[in-house]
Amino acid sequence: MVRKNIFKCDKNTIYHQGVCKVGKTRKRTKEINSNVKRINKLMFNPTKRQTDSELFEVVVLKNKVHHFNFLKGRTRIQAVGDWKSSKGKIYDKEKNVVVQVQFKDTKGEKVGKELIKRFKKLNKDLVGEELLYTRTIPIEETSL
């Protein structure tokens, strides 16, 4: 099986596991790909100081979950959400997906804070959610 390079796309587009967005500049493409690589490195290549087990969660619309296919290991859970935007629009029975990734964090939670910051940037640069809900949760016991 030949695997596609997730950081490459033709005709000035951004490749994201089979989904391309047209109109991004090369500089923007490089920034997004650099951010994606750093996210995977933080989550899946822990340093010796990363010893605390944590769970990272992001809640996103079902039709935008493909933007998170770059994560090397993840669990996806379908969910229904209700919320009201800051502009007063009500979203009732919205189809969402909760993406979960277990990772190792430092005692001061530096990795989790960095991941939240990087996912905010990813949302701004690519996903485009009004509010991308992300959080980290400590895990007391795990097999990882």
pLDDT tens readout for residues 29-39: 788 888 999 99
- What one-character-per-residue DSSP string does 65-77 give? GGGGTTSSS-EEE
One-letter identity of residue 22: V
- Is pLDDT of 102 > 50? yes
pLDDT of the residue at 13: 45
- pTM check: above 0.85: no
Burial classification of residue 62, based on how many CB atoms lie within 10 Å of its CB (0-12 exposed, 13-18 middle, 19 or more buried): middle
Q: Which domains are present in the chain?
A: 46-138 (3.30.70.120)
| 82 touches 97 (CB < 8 A) | no
Calculate mean pLDDT across residues 19-33: 69
CA 99/CA 105 separation, integer angstroms: 18
Instruction: List C-alpha distances in Å: 20 to 7, 11, 92.
Output: 11, 10, 29
Pull the structure tokens for residue 120.
Answer: 């905010």
